[in-house]
Structures are given as structure tokens and as C-alpha cells.
A and B are shown apart, each in its own frame.
Chain A
Amino acid sequence: MYGGGNTFEGVKTESVALEDPIKLAEFEARIERGEKIEPSDWMPQLYRKQLIRMIEQHAHSEIIGALPEGTWITRAPGFKRKMALMAKVQDEVGHAQLLYSAAETLGKPREKMIDDLITGKSKYSNIFNYPTFTWADCCFISWLVDAGAIVNQLANAKGSYGPYCRALDRICAEESFHLKYGHHCVIYLATGTAKQRQMFQEALNRWWPPMMHFFGPSDKISMHTEVLMKWKVKMGTNDDMRNQFLDMYVPKIWELGFTIPDPLLKKNTQTGKWEYTEPDWEEFKRVINGGGPCNKERLEVRRIAEERGKWVRDAMKSSKAAYVTPLA
């Protein structure tokens, strides 16, 4: 599970005023009652658009996120770790398929989503634009990036769109081993030799800034998303999600005797909130717009895979096929 924070930049809410007020009121009342919206229900254009964008980004993140971990399958230490990592990567790619299907029920065909990923029109979780230099980097992803994603996805599973929630329920259930596996890998490094401890500490130093970026820009600079919160598209603010992650995992990292590369990181006992050095949001923007160390490689790997598979897909095409939007 890899879905990161969504930035929702440039959300224009003007279109909501043009919606049919009676239908809009019924729609909002249904969400207020805690009921789910299904594909054939009426929904505002903005709801449809933002959901497609969010679910599609999540699907891309699963596919692209499998790359930095997948690269370590051949070099994972030992047979058991290889088996587990293969199963985990297979799960993540399976999750992408579930998520593409959920997005598709809103009317965007999978062909278009794959095109938009490769041309850079739609985004994926920024954190996968960084390289995994050592096995410890791979362990960091398996434990802490997955943990961050779980914080987000457990919240989103309580959202309002039926097909997305059902996909997330299935994904969360399949994930139960990923987090335990990741923690297990890190415990082994932490309790191993001095060299192993150093390897993980270095990975932690490399990955901490992107991990803080993972939940999206601070609420102070992020666009207003009240309407998306009201419609249960977005289930918590970026800062809330980040705080929840820090609450759950900083003590576990400290317990293993590692240091987190942020001298200001501490929990404010009065507010119950974590204080930290403000992440570098300029760096975040630079990487999301293609300037990260691995953006080009990630998209090239996808593009080449699509190109290489094309003749197989063409050979299997049937003239009887016709596209219809999937049901639920």
C-alpha cells in the first residue's frame, strides 16, 4: 500500500454553484448519513473529477512504488526474504489493478490513465522518485512508507465512494503482513552488527525528508479543501495524517536506538501535537514536477514495459469486444 498525501492543488469549487441544488442537497444528505455513493448515483462534477484524480494517483503509486522495492528481490538477504518481498511486490501491483478498476467506475478508461501516467499528466506518490541504494532503504519502504500509507488509507476507507472503499478494505486486509514484515526486517538490522545498524541509520537519514513530504504540504500552505472533506473525499488534513504517523512510529524508531535527522522533532505535551522542522516544500514541488533523482527512470521503465507488451495485447484483441463501464 503506497498511497501518499494528496495535494489537491488548484481545486476550483465554482462548478458546485452550477449543480442542481435539489440533487446536490440529496447527495450531501446521503453522505451526511454515512451512506456510500455508488457509480450510478448522481454526483457533482467536482466530486467525480477529484475522486478520479485521487484514486488514479493512488493506483499509479502502487505500480511505481513496486519499482524501488522490486529492484531488491534478486538481492534480498536469503530465500525467506526473497519469497516475502516477491509476494509483497505482487500484492502492490494487484492493488494497482483494484484501484484502476475503482477509478474506472467513474468513467475514465484504464487506457487513458496509463497514458496520463507515462506522459506525466497525472502524478504518483513523490517518495518513489528517490533511489534505494541499499537493502536498508528497501526495509525503510517496507516498514515506514507502508506505515504512512496505512495511516492515509485506513482514513480513506471510511470515505464516501463505495467502489474505492471496497477496494481499500481488501487492500488493507492484504497489507497486514507487509507492515509486520517491514518491521521484522528493520528489527533484524537494528539488532545485528554495527555495520547493519549503520546501514539502517543511513537509510533513515536519506528517507526522513521525503517521508515528511509524503503526507502532502502543510495545512498552512495547502489549498482549502473543505468541500472535499464535507463530501468525504479527503478524510483528514495533511498535518493530521503526518501527526498520526509520527505518534505511532517515532517511538518505535527511537526504541530501536536510531536517531531521526531532525533536531527540532519532539512532541508538545500540551497540544499533543508533534513539532518538527518545516519540510522543504520547494524541494517537494521540484521533485513532483519531475526534478527528483528517479522521476525519469520510473516513467521510462513503465513506458518501455507498455511498448514491449503492445504486440501481445494487439495479438489477443478480439473484434467482438466493446467497452462498457464496469458495474461496481
Chain B
Amino acid sequence: MKSLDPRVERLPDIGESGVIKPKAALDQFGTYEVFVRPVEGKPFQHEGIVHAPNLELAFILAKEAFTRRFTCVSLYVTDTRNVYVSPLTEGKNNAYDLIPHVEESKKEKEKFEIYHLTKRGKQHIHVNTVEAGSPQEAMSVAKQSLNLGKSVFNVWAIRKSDIRFTASEENDLWITLPDKKFRDAAEYKGGDKLKYFLEARVK
């Protein structure tokens, strides 16, 4: 291929120009939901998704996509399919009112992370951890213990064992963030150069 870029010219000749076989389903893998704790003392919040072949790679890709530039002290990911979701409401309608009561099951209890959406248009924020035998029961437990009368528009429950957390030895993943000054707007001070240039032009 003729190009100004020698690397483009060196690209191998594969397939036919402009023709691509339609991608098979899941060519880009499934999706994983990403949650970030931006600073110590703040709750985890939902940030978005990454496509990944497995949970471990989802964690690494999430670190690149969501914490490359923003402050982060901890990150976790889970398969989108593992997030149990309540109906979405608006106005004065509380999502908890639409969550049915579930009797306490005799199954062994597991921990579930509960997320609330309290402002439409914003992110889901972690509120607490509850113990229950199923995600439906976790929602019901949350309804009793975390429904404080304030409007909640959406509730998520995620089984703790389905989450890939940041291990304590991985906490140093983010320590180099502040060293990369070349990504700071404040590092680009052209002001003096510009000032002398403009003064010289006036003369």
C-alpha cells in the first residue's frame, strides 16, 4: 500500500481491500462491568464496561481504560450477566417499591454488594453489603435494611464471589499515576515564550 508512513507500507498483504467477513458473534468477547474507588474513604462507583475473554483480563483492561488517567485506589470487575438489576424508575417512584418481598431461604448465605442509583444520569454507587441465599433475596434484604425513604431509581445486587477484586499486593498499580507529568495540562506553559514573541512583534 502506498503511504507516507513507512510502517503502513510494510503491512502484510492480507485478504482483499474493503472486504471483511462479517464478524462472528462474540468476536469482541462478552462484557464486564467495572467499578472504581477513586480515593480512600469514598465508595466504589460504576464506571462502564470492558470487553474481555475472561475475568482476569477484564481486570487488566479495566485498569487501562478507566484508571489510566484518573485517581484510583481500588478497582473491581464482574461479568455483566452477574449483575442482578431492579426495574428503573423516575420522579417520586422508588425502585424498592417494585422489589417483591422474598422469604428468608434456608440456603447457605452469601455476601452481595448492593448499588443504588440515586440521581438519574449519574453513576450507580455502592451502599453496603448484605447476606442472602439468592440475588432476589439480597434485593429483598436490601429493601428492608437500605431503603431509607430517599428515592432510589435503580438497585443492583452482585454476588461477592463473582467479583474480581484488587488484591492487596496489587495496590501499587496506581502509584506511578502522579509521576506522568506530561499528561498534565498545567505542564504546558507556553506563556512566557508567547509573551516575548508578542512583545518583539509590537516593537
Contact = CB atoms under 8 A, between A and B. Distances in A.
A177 B26 contact: no
B17 to A, nearest CB: 6
A92 to B, nearest CB: 12
Given A40-B88, A98-B48, A115-B20, A317 B182 contact: no
A84 B183 contact: yes
Interface residues of A, number: 74
Contacts of B12: 304, 308
Given A84-B182, A114-B23, A303-B20, A324 B81 contact: yes
B-side interface size class: 35 or more
B11 interface: yes
A209 interface: no
Interface string A51-87: 0000000000000000000010010000010011001
A38 B120 contact: yes
Main secondary structure of the interface of B (DSSP, over half): loop
A248 interface: no
B25 A111 contact: yes
B80 A297 contact: no
B167 interface: no
Interface stretch (A145-153, A186-194, A261-269): A186-194
Contact of A303 (B17, B69, B90): B17
B24 interface: yes
A36 interface: yes
Interface in B50-94: 50-51, 53-54, 57, 64-65, 68-70, 80-81, 83, 85, 87-88, 90
A296 B5 CA distance: 14
A172 to B, nearest CB: 12
A35 B90 contact: yes
Given A87-B182, A257-B201, A316 B29 contact: yes
16 contacts: A74-B7, A94-B68, A111-B23, A131-B4, A162-B120, A166-B122, A166-B123, A257-B201, A301-B11, A304-B15, A307-B20, A313-B28, A322-B26, A323-B30, A328-B46, A328-B48
